[in-house]
Structure 1
Amino acid sequence: MLDKEELRSTVAQVLDAEVAEVTDDALFVDDLEVDSLMALEVVVVLEKKYGVKLPESELRQIVTLQSAYDLLAGKLQDA
């Protein structure tokens, strides 16, 4: 089972942001100033941590913590 708070702290750590800044609906690019390199780093860390593969076509869906959570939860459920 995917723990959203664990996901939040992982994303915050990769982005070098405060956990409180990574709200469910904070936009990574607009609110947290995530560039494409940082976004890729987040994806790599999440893939390793949760043992999933996120195809490029799905990466565009990850714009907030909630969208990342939903995508990962679906992947882990299908696994």
Structure 2
Amino acid sequence: MADRFDKLDKEELRGLIAEVLDLPVAEVTDEAHFLDDLDVDSLMALEIMVRLEKAYGLRLEETELESITTLAGTYDLLDGRLKAVS
């Protein structure tokens, strides 16, 4: 499954997060802070994490949730994890 994600697509990731948050894709900018700018609560953050795990075939640790605060941080986390398993 990792072969499909040799290069993580940021726009695909942006769309997935926008879908979970029920927001227009344009609002999920690279630096928009999920909590402060997009009003993400803990339940929504958990939903993002679950969807990322399913979409990318990864098991994320609770400590990694701290990196899932912006699209850029989420992208960096997933990119590193996917490269590590490929």
In structure 2, list runs of 5 or more residues that go unmatched: 1-6
Q: Displacement, 1:73?
A: 0.3
In structure 1, list runs of 5 or more residues that go unmatched: none
2:25 corresponds to 1:19? yes
Highest CA radius of gyration, 1 or 2? 2
Give distance in 1, aligned partners of 2:59 and 2:77. 11
Give distance in 2, aligned partners of 1:28 and 1:48. 20
Q: Secondary structure at the match of 2:67?
A: coil
Q: Displacement, 1:76?
A: 0.3
2:38 corresponds to 1:32? yes
Give distance in 1, aligned partners of 2:63 and 2:17. 20
Q: Displacement, 1:38?
A: 0.3
State the TM-score, normalizing by the size of structure 1.
0.98
Q: How many residues align?
A: 79
Question: What stretches of structure 1 move > 6 A for 4+ residues in a row?
Answer: none
Identity of aligned residues (%): 62
